[in-house]
Structure 1
Amino acid sequence: MTRSALVIGEALLDEVVDGDRVSRHPGGSPANVALGLARLGVDTRLHTAIGDDADGEMIERHLGAAGVSVTASSVTDAPTSNAVAIRAQDGSVSYRFTVAWEPVRLDDLGSPTLVHAGSLGAFLRPGSEVTRDTIGRGRRLGALISFDPNIRPSLLAEREETRASFEELASSSHLTKLSDEDADHLYPGVPLEDVLDRLVDAGAGVAAVTRGSEGALLASGDERVSVLSVRTPVADTVGAGDSFMAALIWALAFDGAAWAGGPIPAARLQTIGDTAARAAAITVSRSGADLPHIGELRAGLSSASG
């Protein structure tokens, strides 16, 4: 049986402001993860909400070129959402969003190996109910569930409500990844190691917290590992977390032996973390959310171990 992924969440147009220059690129965290999975050879579908307009067509062409199949019901009457990404001199990026998230219910999930959800699509109403419905039905079909909240505080409800929504979804997930900024928003003042413990206790087979240039922490069962970031010149950080997430999913669920969703040994935990860090390094070395292809990632991993 072909192993495949279904991703649900927002796709939008990023307008990247770099001094006096403005460039436009398809983006959105779930769409980036779908792109990353497809470039890593995974048969990937994306269920989203884009407009029947030029921006929506650009997104479909971009994803289709990588092999992502956008569901037909993703095209809606509403305009395509957008985000303005303002790049600082150090390569870091801040965002302003104009987002509507009103996807229709996806009647036919197919038989995906994994369902991934996250970001605004997991929290913004009314579409968040469609996301939860998809996760619930996917899990009942036996699919693995992965979740990346990718918190955008300015667009979400109060912290307590956001945390409750996060914990509901995290408890249904086999793989959950947060950034250190996500963790600080959800659990201010709580050490990252304790946040990982909460995720594992809630049922995650694997949990991860990324820390930018300081690497990442991963947990599985009683195992805890620290992953170093890969040194590379930074063009910008757009898509870095999504690249880490896509490679983490790939290394766990699609590369080699199948993963049943439970705890894994420390050695494998370290390997998947190093793989995800390598993918993120490739992405930050070039402008925009330009996630690696399978050949690039394997070449990077080979050179690191050689």
Structure 2
Amino acid sequence: MRFVVVGEALVDVVPAVPSPVVSAEVPELGSAESREQAGLPKTRDLPGGSPANVAVTLGRLGRQATLVTTLGDDARGALVRGWLEASDVDVVAAAPATGRTSTAAVVLDARGGASYDFDLTWDLPAQLLEAQVDRADVVHAGSIATVLEPGADAVEAALRGAAGRALVSFDPNARPAITPDVPAVLGHVERLVALSDVVKVSEEDLAWYYPGVEPVEAAQRWAAHGPVLVVVTLGGDGAIAVRGDDVVRTPGVKVDVADTIGAGDTFMGALLDALAGEGAVGAQARAVLTALTPEQLAHALTWAARAAAVTVSRPGADPPTRAELES
């Protein structure tokens, strides 16, 4: 069973965490300015990227995962590739036109919530992508790679080609810093939704695309135009699955939050893992999804929420292994 994930892999440039010795003896060295004065780094590089996080989640859960992406031939590219391969992800990468591995400067708020400032180019060759998607049982795409030109058109064409042959999943994962104009990207997003069998989206993203519309109503709109299953994540409040007239709600998992980096991506990867475990792969994916009981859907959502809870409990995008979840 082969999972192909399409999208950006990059380096998250995050605020450096003060060492226990420094923070205990000189607490003020926790600030970026004072750390720089003391000769300590203000930031650190962590590999990431929404689709890359999904691929790592699948790899750590024991799935055969391939990430199709762009990476520069530089130190950051080597860091990202090593991180992916350490989680048993096959990496198929083209060099971006800039030659640089993309970055996202991370800003954490008081609750550990993350926002991003991107330096990213997405120009994946269509032929490279098509060769991988043609052999997939599950194809997932999301985030910046689905809306940023010139590579976005190749992603849409690949999903269109996979429809009916593989389970197709999509996570819009809105990035206003990259595409601030909602009308300019909404039509593209809605086309990808219509091509998909499964869509996972956060309530924040739905609010950005459809201001003032309740999450369930927005999800039902999407479910009426293509996907069998639309899942809305509600952060600590759990998730909602919409399938036709079925609306399945599951609670969140209580956990102490280190930060939220990679939480939604972990949920996405674990959700695909759970659905694949029910047989929702390949040409029969839509029929299997349609036949799942509400209890089976609830189990899939709970599995995904538990995985995301592990990720938010530790710094950075660090999804759990199957052994961690099963224990």
Both proteins in one fold, TM over 0.5: yes
Q: Tell me whether 1:298 sits opposite 2:322 in the alignment.
A: no
Post-superposition Cα deviations, 1:6-32, rounded to whole Å, max 9, x if no partner, equal 111001000112543422111110010
Q: Tell me whether 1:143 sits opposite 2:166 in the alignment.
A: yes
Letter in 1 for 2:3: A
Name the SS for the 2:160 alignment partner: helix
Cα offset, 1:256, TM superposition: 4.3
Specify every segment of 5 or more residues in structure 1 that has no aligned partner in the other structure, as ranges. Answer: 300-306
Pairing of 1:217-232 with structure 2 (within 5 A): 217-232=240-255
Tell me which residue corresponds to 1:99.
120
Question: Which one of 208, 214, 219 corresponds to residue 185 of structure 1?
Answer: 208
Q: Tell me whether 1:90 sits opposite 2:111 in the alignment.
A: yes
Distance 1:182 1:250 in 2: 23
Scaled by the length of structure 2, the TM-score of the pair is: 0.87
Letter in 1 for 2:155: T
Specify every segment of 5 or more residues in structure 2 that has no aligned partner in the other structure, as ranges. Answer: 17-30, 33-41
Structure with bigger gyration radius: 2
Tell me which residue corresponds to 2:19.
none
Tell me which residue corresponds to 1:118.
142
Question: Which one of 1, 7, 10 corresponds to residue 9 of structure 1?
Answer: 7
Distance 1:8 1:192 in 2: 26
Cα offset, 1:154, TM superposition: 2.1
Tell me which residue corresponds to 1:257.
279
Name the SS for the 2:177 alignment partner: helix
Post-superposition Cα deviations, 1:270-301, rounded to whole Å, max 9, x if no partner, equal 111111110110000000000111111122xx
Pairing of 1:1-306 with structure 2 (within 5 A): 3-17=1-15, 19-20=31-32, 21-71=42-92, 73-76=93-96, 78-105=99-126, 106=128, 107-109=130-132, 110-139=134-163, 142-156=165-179, 158-253=181-276, 255-259=277-281, 260-261=285-286, 262-263=289-290, 264-299=292-327
Distance 1:233 1:151 in 2: 25
Answer yes or no: is the 8 Å Cα contact 1:220–1:269 preserved in 2. Answer: no
Distance 2:278 2:168 in 1: 18
* CA RMSD between the two structures: 1.4
Distance 2:57 2:87 in 1: 8
Cα offset, 1:246, TM superposition: 0.5
Answer yes or no: is the 8 Å Cα contact 1:52–1:76 preserved in 2. Answer: no
Name the SS for the 2:163 alignment partner: helix
Letter in 2 for 1:49: T
Letter in 2 for 1:135: L
Name the SS for the 1:52 alignment partner: coil
Cα offset, 1:86, TM superposition: 1.3
Letter in 2 for 1:137: G
Answer yes or no: is the 8 Å Cα contact 2:96–2:122 preserved in 1. Answer: no
Cα offset, 1:126, TM superposition: 0.3
Answer yes or no: is the 8 Å Cα contact 2:238–2:252 preserved in 1. Answer: yes
Answer yes or no: is the 8 Å Cα contact 2:223–2:242 preserved in 1. Answer: yes
Cα offset, 1:38, TM superposition: 0.8
Distance 1:197 1:256 in 2: 23
Distance 1:154 1:258, change over 3 A: closer
Tell me which residue corresponds to 1:304.
none
What is the aligned residue count? 294
Tell me which residue corresponds to 1:302.
none
Cα offset, 1:222, TM superposition: 1.8
Answer yes or no: is the 8 Å Cα contact 2:96–2:121 preserved in 1. Answer: no
Distance 1:130 1:56 in 2: 22
Sequence identity (%):
38
Distance 1:195 1:111 in 2: 33
Answer yes or no: is the 8 Å Cα contact 2:116–2:177 preserved in 1. Answer: no
Letter in 1 for 2:80: I
Cα offset, 1:162, TM superposition: 1.3
